[in-house]
Structure 1
Amino acid sequence: MQKLTFETSWDKALPSKDRERIVHIFKETRSQHYPTIKLTPLWQATNHRGELLITVLVHNFSGDIVKFNNTKLRYIEKNKVIAEHAFSIPPLSIPPETSMPWAFIFPVEALNGQASFVNGNLEFAD
């Protein structure tokens, strides 16, 4: 059965309003069984350096631990790739049948256009 967990630093710093939203989205999406991993959008933003921050709920529906080691992701809006980048995140390790929120930060040089933050999705690049 799918369970929700938070990385230690997230667990300490996450405002209660954001936690409630994540729990709500988890409850709505936890039974959407996919073969392996599903990235469910939570929120998007741009920081003061112009980097794109895409926060998702990473659902690991598989029976294996998921790690991001040079894993290429792309942020897409209206069938257009807005950003693409390879992520290696040593602290991010998601146990089997576990969901965890995570923010992926796309550097400015990975951006291919301006994000509108309307109906965007994060997905694995081929």
Structure 2
Amino acid sequence: MQTFQLQSAWRKTIAEGDLNELKALLAVGKTERFIPYRQAFNYRGDLLVTVIIQNQSSEEDVWESKLIACVEEGETIAERSFSIQTVPPYTSMPWTFIFPKDSLAQTPVKTGTLQER
């Protein structure tokens, strides 16, 4: 059974409405590796892509320099290597990937999807 987990920083700052929306996304039973939640730009022009990461295996998901691309309608918007905390087995957790402004190949028009490369 899949467990929903929040990183400690998320537990301290997440709004109840956002938490309910994330849990609702999981309740639908989606099985994608990355479940899109929200996309925005910060004040520096960096692209912030918030997703639910799903580890649906019995092994820990170790994030050591994984190349992640933000893709919109088959076009790569941005690509960057990420190292984040390990995702435990059978765990779903929200995470925000930050693609610096200078890594954007083009400006997204709508919410893209994330892909491991």
- Which range, TM-score by smaller chain? over 0.9
Residue 56 in structure 1 maps to residue 51 in structure 2: yes
- TM-superposed CA distance for 1:14, in Å, is 0.2
Structure 1 residue corresponding to 2:115, chosen from 98, 120, 123: 123
Q: What TM-score does the superposition give when structure 1 sets the normalisation length?
A: 0.88
- Residue 17 of structure 1 corresponds to 17
Q: How many residues align?
A: 117
Alignment of 1:31-110 (within 5 A): 32=31, 38-89=33-84, 92-110=85-103
Q: Equivalents in 2 of 1:18, 1:6: separation in Å? A: 12
Q: Equivalents in 1 of 2:5, 2:83: separation in Å? A: 20
- TM-superposed CA distance for 1:67, in Å, is 2.4
Q: CA RMSD in A?
A: 1.2
Runs of 4+ aligned residues of structure 1 deviating over 2 Å after TM superposition are none
Give 1 or 2: higher strand fraction. 1
- TM-superposed CA distance for 1:26, in Å, is 1.1
Q: What TM-score does the superposition give when structure 2 sets the normalisation length?
A: 0.94
